[in-house]
Structure 1
Amino acid sequence: MKQIIRIGMDTSKHIFQLHGVDAAEQPVLRKRLSRKQMVEFFANLPPTVIGMEACGASQYWARELSKLGHEVKLMAPQLVKPYISRNKNDGRDAEGQCEAMSRPSMRFVPVKTAEQQAALMLTGIRDGLIARRTQLSNTIRGYAAEFGLIAPKGLDKIEPLLTQIAQDESLPAMARELFAVPGREYARLQAELKQIEAKLVAWHRADALSRRLAQIPSIGPIIATRLVMKTPDPRAFRSGRHFAAWLGLTPKDHSTAGKTRLGKITRAGDEDLRRLLVAGATSVIQQVRRGRGHPSRWLVALLKRKPPKLAAVALANKVARIAWKLMATGESYDAARMNAIPAFAA
């Protein structure tokens, strides 16, 4: 077999399809491996470059193959798709990945450490617990409404509602017993959420970069930790503008014949980070409209000529650029520089 310079690998839970080329870009490897054969095969293979789509378990295999001396490059699936021929199958997927990773313009996903993956579990589990708590509170409110019991808005009103139900002897005994089931589940979720959030705050306080990011207005511990966890290599982006574009906070560009047509934001990239940044920006704007805080002249001027929702996205874009700057350079947030921006700046 000729020297392999590049391998594209299509992954799944149990089957892995390989496509390798030599220096002349000729296919010299087409192989199908089981999960058990993976490590043995690559351990006996001279160090080479391996390309995979960034999908489930790709971070794990990237770390394992790197331990064997190989260079692993992860690519977003949507960037690989144009290089895959029609009549899709595992072999063509691997061939497309092998071709895509050779392109000079290809952008790669940084490989995370096991510690970074563990930290990301904190945020993922927290989101899941919040979703289940919301579902459970809506269930309790819905059943209570069938008996004419309406509680005010807010999560802090659920426990008083359950207490009221337990003490209301006008309700059928079976109903009171059944309300106790989601009540116990709700209490358990609340306790688990407090534990997870305590660990998240502890992680935030122990990380210097996360603490520096939290100095930016509209960024708190939750957003700061997400930024650190999900951007292990900020220098992979050439500028804050590219970072904001990666988050989908830039308008869609559909221009032709010298005519510029910009639409709504692309909503590409990481949905959680984009959602949190926009939510944080919305909170800042609400405070400004109520006459609170110390907003920059740029934001005050923007709110005078743009709707609040559009201003929130613009502020989220600016915050993303500032966050990238702090992550890439190691600097701290300087409020004076933000306020020095001319009021007419866009």
Structure 2
Amino acid sequence: MTIDAVLTNGTIAPLPSNSNIMDLRKNLCGIRAQIIQCVVPPTLNMRGKPPCTDSAEFNFAENQVVRRLTALQNACGAGVLPQANSCMRMLDANMQQCYTKAGLSPSMFGSNETEIKGAIIGKDKEAASRFCGVRNTLFSCMRNVIDSCEGANEYMLLTGYDHASMEASIDLLCGDIDVYVEGLVCFQNPTDAVQKCLDSMSASMVDLAARQIQQNLDMTGFFSEYCKIRVDHLGCDMKAWKQSCSKAGVGLKNEFECTMLPSTCQKNINLQTMLKDNVCNTTSFYKEFRHPAGKNSASQLSTVLASVVTLLSMILIL
């Protein structure tokens, strides 16, 4: 309770009476290393053991542990990322405002009654066409937000968010709207195989975040493992979706996620063989099924990006 109180300045848990927040923080930081070594190894060792046999539940619990330890690291000036300034802390909110400025509303991506998973550019053809028509306005606004905040682009790259890759991946979907829209139907219910891939990636990501804190991995070491986890998941995810959805849909989804990879991962020397010869080889995009000669595209697409959402949540804990 005292740790939560100190890390949140008393907003989540009350500070001890007659206490000085700076003194409490100094004392807490003095035993930071001991706290980390006390918490992380036992947590990692519990994965898969009773009563922690449910992977999704354990991922959630471990994520909460990592969030608190990350807050401790940041409070003590020991985090792997540079300290975020005030505009960096507002980046997400300010970039979300760009949707409104571009004339885009939440109703274009779903409704209060129905969640449409993976509606990246819209919930139907009308919404997707409208989104794609104003995407350059949206991108311009987002770039202005990033450029007006000193160090923001570098900071975001360190968290695994590559804005240039995001724009390129959206352009890809906008070039295949019919395939995108039809695929929203097929992939609203992930199969057990798909969920297994997602749980495995989530477990690897949160374990990596915990080990980064415990072992003080630098960004080079962290991203080396981070990128491999992302690429391994691409292969697992593509194979799983092929069991239930069309090659056209799986191909567009796979090309989207390959394009979405941060440039750090795309340029990783150790992953080039896997990327170019396997998961991100053009043959894995099944373009011939997305645009068959003499026919209109009538394929289904996997744009369920639960994996991406979870990944971003993993990124945000760093």
Q: TM-score, normalised by structure 2?
A: 0.31
Which one has a bigger Cα radius of gyration? 1
Q: More helix by proportion, 1 or 2?
A: 2
Q: TM-score, normalised by structure 1?
A: 0.29
Which structure is richer in relative contact order (CA contacts within 8 A, separation 6 or more)? 2
